[in-house]
């Protein structure tokens, strides 16, 4: 019985992430990388608010965060 050598493609730094992004996806900032200050302020307000309804109490900081994200093309509900 003769054995055949199987050729396996090798991973290089040039092709390792080639297939991870869908074709046609625009390259731009990730949502986690923009509006960091606004997000931190919003989170701090929501976590440490003593109000009965923190969402109402922090509405202005939430709106600032949403408008910042919208400026980068991310539409939040």
Residue ranges for the known binding site for Cu cation are: 32-33
Residue ranges for the known binding site are: 32-33
- The tokens for 71 are 């400026």
For residue 45, the enclosing domain spans 31-71
Residue 11 lies in a domain: no
DSSP for 10-72 reads PP-TTTTTTTTSPTTPPP---GGGS-HHHHHHHHHHHHH--SS-HHHHTHHHHHHHHHHHHHT
Residue 53 lies in a domain: yes
- How many folded domains does the chain comprise? 1
- The per-residue pLDDT for range 24-72, each reduced to its tens digit, is 556 789 999 999 999 999 999 999 999 999 999 999 999 999 999 999 9
Residue 76 lies in a domain: no
Q: Which of 6-10, 16-20, 43-47 is the least confident region? A: 16-20
Residue 25 lies in a domain: no
pLDDT tops 50 at residue 20: no
């Amino acid at each position: 019985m003769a054995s055949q050598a199987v050729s396996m493609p090798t991973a290089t730094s040039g092709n390792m992430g080639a297939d991870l992004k869908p074709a046609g996806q625009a390259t731009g900032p990730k949502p986690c990388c923009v509006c960091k200050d606004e997000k931190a302020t919003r989170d701090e307000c929501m976590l440490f608010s003593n109000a009965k309804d923190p969402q109402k109490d922090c509405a202005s900081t939430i709106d600032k965060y949403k408008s910042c994200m919208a400026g980068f093309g991310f539409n939040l509900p």
